[in-house]
Structure 1
């Protein structure tokens, strides 16, 4: 399977509530294509749903290393920071996301 196919399988499992299965698929996608940032974001979403906020933040940060100008990743990071009560950081990330969205 290709990274995209693993990613799509991960999304399917995520939608079905199979969080562990989704993580396995997203991990395979990243192993197949280290630059596939969407797999990191999917992985982060699965971790978030498991309540593993710190690990989810790590995955979003990995995505941002690949695509620092991706508004969706900054929005995701903002939401995760909000959940941790890191309001100032969340607001900073949302401002970055908003600015990037304006440039589209």
Structure 2
């Protein structure tokens, strides 16, 4: 339960604009539950907002190692790749996300 509490605290801090605080909470959530992929995605969002795109990509990839068929993670990765100008990779991830979304 501690992981979920940290995750929820992270979301609250993310929403309030406390990005560093959000990262700390998401990191705690992952530390408490290594399979908590949504915490990795929240962590990635906070990193992205801080302009730390490479680190955000790492966190999305961590989430994808846990749940490779998660459309949201592929969409997030696509968006991050677009920011870096990695258009081919971004298009590939968006195609994966689209395919997975149709399977729901």
On whether the aligned pair clears a TM of 0.5, the verdict is yes
TM-score (ref. length: structure 2): 0.99
CA displacement 1:17-65 (0-9 Å, x = unmatched): 0000000000000000000000000000000000000000000000000
Q: Distance in 2 between matches of 1:17 and 1:94?
A: 27
Aligned-CA RMSD value:
0.6
Measured in 2, the distance between the counterparts of 1:78 and 1:4 equals 26
TM-score, normalised with respect to structure 1: 0.99
Instruction: For residue 13 of structure 1, report the CA deviation from its aligned partner.
Output: 0.1
Task: Structure 2: give runs of 5+ residues left out of the alignment.
Answer: none
Aligned length: 104
Between 1:89-98 and 1:1-10, the stretch displaced more is 1-10
